Amino acid sequence: MNDLDKFSPGLDGVVATETSISFLDTIQGEIVIRGYDLIELSKTYSYVDIIHLLLEGRLPDEEEKKALENSMNQRYELPATVFEVLKLLPEQTHAMDALRTGLSVLGGYDDAIDDRSLLVNKERAYQLLGQIPSIVANSHRILTKNAPIHPDKNLPYSANFFYMITGKKPSPMEEKIFDLSLLLYSEHEMPNSTFTARVIASTQSDLYGALTGAVASLKGNLHGGANEAVMHLLLEAGTIPNFEELLKIKLSRKEKIMGFGHRVYMKKMDPRATMMKEALKHLSDIKQDYLLYRMCEAGERIMEREKGLYPNLDYYAAPVYWMLGIPIPLYTPIFFAARTVGICTHVLEQHAQNRLFRPRVKYIGERHVL
């Protein structure tokens, strides 16, 4: 067979790169992050530990973790121009589009933008991990004509992010669940957005450009946008019988149900979804409000029976964010903020072992002789 006849639509099953960052091991059922299973990590470690693990290649000790928290606290502030630009955007701008714009603006403030060395890129990644939550939380506030909330530098990283989003300091339980969601979203091998970032980085373009492209990719409903779509579906239904009915109607019309299926897990439950489901149960117990939990379980049963499909992380992250009081337009930007560390790590790796991405096509058009 000619090389040009090998074609896998959507690059399904195609190995795009070598990496020592992460791997979805579907045989062992593990999400391998720098050698550790993400689900096991989530039981003991926090999101900041995962930042260290991804960017430094190993888990931090107590001192290193404290130092990282402290250094992140110094990196939240944004150039005033970012807010000025966001204020110019039309009110209906999606928070992901505002994030894309805000990120582009940041690139202009980097005096060393052409320096792709590992050291400078890593420092840039830490800086962006401070600044992106500030853009995410405040873009929504600005678009809805509310005053920005400045970071509370005394709060730990996830608690501060939650505070800037909701204007409220989280309870220990809220902080733990929000932190868990960030950890679960942090890195996941080679989804479309990470691939996009690596493709951009492979031209030796900069980290801001790679992340900006990744924001556009992650916004789509087939990727990160699914968490917002799930919440709209649950709210549209409002009750368990309505939700069951809605899913059946959509399936009969051959529509995709958001929050179900996954290119790699397809016929298995995403292990991250299991963790978020437990978190939803916990929130439901505390609030003594089981409606969303039961609706989700009913949806899960229907999808298993009718399609043999299982929930992905977005299916359970959506009701968890709802119960935490997070505005729906921020669900996907929060996913991106959490994934920033994973994508940055991939860009660093791409720059370090670069080969330009340039695939070929299977031409099915006509040929003409002039």
Ligand X SMILES: CC(C)(COP(=O)(O)OP(=O)(O)OC[C@H]1O[C@@H](n2cnc3c(N)ncnc32)[C@H](O)[C@@H]1OP(=O)(O)O)[C@@H](O)C(=O)NCCC(=O)NCCS
Closest distance to ligand X from the beta carbon of 275 (Å): 14
**Residue closer to ligand X, measured from CB, 223 or 339:** 223
Binder of ligand X out of 112, 118, 222, 235 (CB under 6 A)? 222
Q: Which of residues 298-317 bind ligand X (CB under 6 A)?
A: 307, 309, 312, 314
Check if 270 is active-site.
Answer: no
Q: Which two tokens stand for residue 176?
A: 């733990």
Stretch that binds ligand X, among 84-92, 108-116, 258-266, 292-300 (CB under 6 A): 258-266
Burial per residue of 344-363, b for 16 or more beta-carbon CB atoms within 10 angstroms, e otherwise: bbbbbbbbeeeeeeeeeeee
Closest distance to ligand X from the beta carbon of 168 (Å): 29
Stretch that binds ligand X, among 18-26, 99-107, 260-268, 280-288 (CB under 6 A): 260-268
Smallest CA-to-CA distance from 17 within 347, 360, 337, 362 is with 347
Mention every residue, 6+ apart, whose C-beta is less than 8 A from residue 286. 173
Closest distance to ligand X from the beta carbon of 304 (Å): 12
Check if 314 is active-site.
Answer: yes
Binder of ligand X out of 60, 102, 259, 333 (CB under 6 A)? 259
**Residue closer to ligand X, measured from CB, 124 or 262:** 262
Pick the catalytic residue from 52, 188, 262, 351.
Answer: 262
10 binds ligand X (CB under 6 A): yes
For residues 226 to 245, the per-residue mask of contacts with ligand X, x marking binding by CB under 6 A and - elsewhere, is: x-------------------
Binder of ligand X out of 176, 256, 281, 282 (CB under 6 A)? 256
Binder of ligand X out of 261, 299, 319, 333 (CB under 6 A)? 261
CB-side neighbour CA atoms (13 Å) of 183: 28
CB-side neighbour CA atoms (13 Å) of 109: 15
| CA–CA separation, 149 and 162 (whole Å) | 11
Size of the site for ligand X (CB under 6 A): 16
| CA–CA separation, 169 and 152 (whole Å) | 9
For residue 141, the one-letter residue type is R
**Residue closer to ligand X, measured from CB, 97 or 314:** 314
How far lies 215's CA from each of 26, 110, 264, 270, in Å? Answer: 27, 19, 21, 22
| CA–CA separation, 10 and 101 (whole Å) | 28
What does DSSP say about strands 22-25 and 30-33: parallel, antiparallel, or unpaired?
antiparallel
| CA–CA separation, 40 and 310 (whole Å) | 21
Catalytic residue numbers?
A: 262, 314
Q: Where along the sequence are the contacts to ligand X (CB under 6 A)?
A: 10, 222-223, 226, 256-263, 307, 309, 312, 314
